[in-house]
């Protein structure tokens, strides 16, 4: 090869491939142990995946050896095969590279030595030995560079760079992974993108950057906060979007190829020189990125001066904590709103307004938001499960705290994901004893995790079985069919997803949830009513129509609309919403446009459903506080916001 990877990276933007693990699983490459074992038991499949990425336009092929170090393989009984697996993985990718007929490079994929789930990293000396052992096999197999990816601690990544340099003088790409914690982009160790760059800038890597965990939009913020580095090039490899559970209990990623390609261009504009995809991305994503880069002449270095650092927008301040004697501006309706709502006759049932309590902060900040929502007219406070991985206030603890401090009903979403049947039963009995009586049962989705997006966690029952368990407790029977001696008194709801790809299946699940004991249903966020109407018609046809709450939230800007449309599964954001938000942009007035659109939706939905769950950002947004949002959407439901009256 006439040009080295480092020379090419200095001259133009290089395009990496996408996911190997998720693509292998989708292609039928299933193993009971470690995914990298496919390199020796199904080499034809691995080679075929590399060939697809090369044909799609990838310049860099990454070996299927992520997490193939001794500490990671020994958990699967494969510790003695470290060299065999890595050597095979490198040779498979190199074989495809050598037939390319154009410049292409092979990157040996290396993960942290620490297996996921361990609170303390593998001891540094042992980790260094493991990385050296893996890299030696990759180098022997013919890789052109080493990519250290999905590291969640800057110190561990720095040590890994040094371990690689002890074995080879091949170029090293070092990538950290971040989570979005209410606007803060942090590693698991609490380090910002700037912190990571500061630790790595003089370590000798040819590129530093980020991959995994976040989708295309979120990763752009990381890239902007990382660069320019003043030395190494920047790299960016996002996930396709958020992972979600589908009907067969497998995990899929949201995110279409064209959306991914648009953000690849934005990474380049922000200074990235090495771009590609991570979990959930496919050769289709790579091909779209290649087309976009060629069309927009982005193969040359970005024109923006390297000395201009992108300054991240200041984080919005959290809501102020309430004063010790703070009073609610308007008295709430007291307890029992859900009970009255469910017992009411359909023709005269009151339209229920529930308000979601979410966002950063501790109990005092959440309490302040809750009180303002009640002052705006909410008669129920809604607490949903968070997908964040960092330590935060327990949703169960928050629900109990609000129940004790605010004189309205509190509803809690309970998920079966990552919890065993007996643990769920204990949680339900504890909630009942603490006074939280309104529950929504759902399966949930995997948390955003750098290394375990697929198949993560304990999943003994799904949301439907969780509903049956709670309904049995209401009849005084436990999970083993034994009588409890006393029955619980939960009012039970279930989640429905009008934005699901298979709407017929979703409608059938909704019917099954009502038959299992759901007394009401609550949607995932909706931005149009046609698909919701289809699910409601199916419930009516089956004789299982129960009260329904539609989750409605005001968009805060075009970026959020674009993110929901392209990266979040099972949410449909139509052009009639996206276009007004595009015109509104992301400035201070955008939230007002979002709230107006939400009010129009509520006015239309009020003829179909029996209430709404009002959602709003946790952080302060000009023109969109809990009181304003709840007041405006209640007025829309009542017809006093210029909308037609429900009945």
Residues 331-361 pLDDT 10s: 456 889 999 999 887 877 889 999 998 766 7
Do you know the residue count of the chain?
Answer: 647
> Residue 29's pLDDT is what?
59
CA dihedral 365, 368, 372, 374 (to 10 degrees): 110
pLDDT at 313: 36
Helix (H, G, I), strand (E, B), or coil: what is residue 100? coil
Q: What is the DSSP letter of 643?
A: S
pLDDT the model gives residue 330: 37
> Residues of the chain whose pLDDT is less than 70?
1, 26-32, 117, 119, 244-252, 296-333, 359-360, 385-393, 446-459, 617-623, 641-647
- pLDDT score recorded for residue 388: 52
At 310 the pLDDT is: 34
Distance CA 631, CA 355 (A): 11
Give the pLDDT of residue 187.
Answer: 94
Quote the tokens at residue 450: 């750098």
Predicted confidence (pLDDT) per residue in 121-159, tens digit: 889 999 999 999 999 999 999 999 999 999 999 999 999
Q: 357: which residues sit within 8 A by CB, 6+ positions away?
A: 366, 369, 370, 373, 381, 382, 383, 398, 402
Instruction: Determine the pLDDT at residue 303.
Output: 36
Handedness of CA 151, 157, 163, 165 (dihedral sign): positive
Nearest alpha carbon to residue 170 among 112, 106, 127: 106
Question: Which pLDDT belongs to residue 369?
Answer: 86
Q: Render 240-277 in DSSP notation, one character per residue.
A: SS-EEE-TTS-EEE---HHHHHHHHHHHHHTTEEEE--
Annotated ligand binding at 278? The verdict is yes
The residues near 194 (Cβ < 8 Å, ≥ 6 apart) are: 225, 226
Q: Which two tokens stand for residue 526?
A: 């909706």
Contact 631, 377 (CB under 8 A): yes
Q: What is the pLDDT of residue 459?
A: 61
Q: What is the pLDDT of residue 629?
A: 87
Question: What is the predicted pLDDT for the residue at 182?
Answer: 76
Pairing of strands 409-415, 380-383: parallel
The pLDDT of residue 318 is: 40
Question: Is residue 536 reached through a cis peptide bond, with omega within 30 degrees of 0 on the bond before it?
Answer: no
Query: 212 a known binding residue?
Result: yes
pLDDT recorded at residue 357 = 87
What phi and psi, each to the nearest 5 degrees, are found at residue 374?
A: -65, -40
pLDDT of residue 426: 87
> What pLDDT does residue 201 have?
96
Distances 422 to 464, 466, 495, 578 between C-alpha atoms, Å: 16, 11, 22, 44
- H/E stretch holding 576: helix 575-584
**Position of tokens 């990763």?**
219
pLDDT for position 469: 94
pLDDT at 448: 54
pLDDT at 31: 59
Return the structure tokens found at 114: 């620490």
The per-residue b/e assignment along 394-417, b for 16 or more CB within 10 angstroms, e otherwise, is ebbebbbbbbeebebbbbbbbbbb
């Amino acid at each position: 090869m006439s040009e080295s990877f480092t020379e090419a990276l200095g001259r133009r933007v290089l395009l990496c491939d996408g996911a190997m693990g998720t693509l292998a699983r989708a292609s039928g490459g299933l193993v009971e142990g470690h995914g990298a074992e496919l390199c020796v038991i199904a080499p034809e499949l691995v080679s075929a995946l590399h060939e697809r990425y090369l044909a799609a336009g990838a310049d860099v092929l990454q070996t299927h050896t992520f997490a193939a170090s001794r500490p990671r393989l020994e958990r699967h009984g494969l510790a003695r095969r470290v060299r065999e697996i890595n050597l095979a993985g490198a040779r498979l990718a190199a074989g495809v590279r050598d037939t390319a007929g154009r410049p292409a490079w092979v990157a040996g994929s290396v993960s942290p030595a620490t297996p996921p789930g361990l609170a303390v990293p593998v001891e540094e000396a042992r980790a260094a030995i493991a990385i050296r052992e893996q890299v030696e096999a990759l180098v022997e197999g013919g890789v052109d560079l080493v990519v250290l990816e999905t590291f969640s601690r800057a110190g561990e990544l720095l040590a890994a760079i040094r371990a690689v340099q002890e074995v080879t003088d091949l170029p090293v790409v070092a990538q950290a992974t971040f989570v979005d914690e209410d606007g803060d982009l942090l590693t698991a160790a609490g380090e910002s993108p700037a912190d990571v760059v500061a630790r790595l800038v003089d370590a000798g890597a040819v590129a530093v950057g980020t991959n995994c965990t976040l989708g295309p939009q979120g990763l752009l913020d990381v890239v902007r906060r990382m660069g320019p580095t003043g030395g190494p090039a920047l790299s960016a490899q996002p996930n396709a979007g958020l992972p979600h559970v589908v009907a067969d209990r497998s995990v899929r990623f949201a995110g279409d190829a064209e959306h991914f390609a648009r953000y690849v261009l934005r990474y380049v504009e922000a200074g990235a020189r090495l771009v590609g995809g991570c979990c959930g991305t496919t050769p289709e994503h790579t091909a779209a990125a290649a087309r976009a880069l060629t069309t927009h002449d982005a193969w040359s270095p970005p024109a923006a001066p390297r000395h201009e650092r992108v300054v991240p927008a200041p984080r919005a301040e959290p809501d102020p904590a309430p004063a010790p004697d703070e009073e609610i501006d308007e008295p709430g309706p007291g307890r029992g709103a859900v009970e009255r709502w469910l017992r009411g006759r359909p023709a005269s049932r009151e339209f229920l307004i529930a308000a979601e309590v979410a966002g950063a902060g501790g109990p005092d900040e959440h309490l302040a938001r809750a009180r303002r929502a009640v002052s705006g007219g909410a008669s129920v406070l809604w607490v949903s499960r968070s997908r964040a991985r960092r330590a935060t206030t327990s949703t169960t603890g928050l629900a109990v705290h609000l129940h004790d401090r605010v004189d309205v009903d509190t509803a809690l979403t309970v998920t079966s994901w990552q919890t065993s049947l007996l643990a769920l039963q204990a949680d339900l009995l504890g909630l009942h004893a603490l006074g939280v009586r309104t529950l929504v049962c759902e399966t949930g989705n995997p948390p955003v995790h750098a290394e375990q997006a697929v198949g993560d966690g304990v999943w003994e029952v799904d949301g439907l079985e969780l509903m049956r368990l709670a309904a049995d407790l209401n009849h005084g029977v436990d999970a083993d069919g034994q009588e409890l001696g006393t029955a619980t008194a939960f009012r039970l709801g279930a989640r429905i997803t009008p934005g699901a790809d298979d709407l017929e299946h979703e409608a059938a699940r909704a019917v099954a949830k009502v038959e299992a004991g759901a007394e009401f249903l609550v949607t995932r966020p909706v931005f149009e009513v046609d698909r919701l109407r289809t699910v409601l018609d199916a419930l009516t046809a089956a004789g299982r129509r129960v009260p329904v709450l539609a989750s409605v939230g005001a968009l805060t800007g075009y970026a959020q609309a674009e993110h929901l449309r392209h990266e979040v599964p099972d949410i449909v954001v139509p052009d009639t919403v996206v276009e007004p938000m595009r015109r509104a942009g992301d400035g201070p007035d955008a939230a007002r446009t979002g709230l107006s659109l939400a009010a129009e939706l509520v006015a239309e939905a009020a003829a179909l459903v029996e209430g709404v769950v009002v959602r709003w950002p946790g952080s302060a947004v000009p023109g969109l506080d809990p009181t304003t949002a709840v007041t405006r959407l209640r007025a829309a439901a009542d017809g006093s916001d210029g909308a037609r009256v429900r009945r």
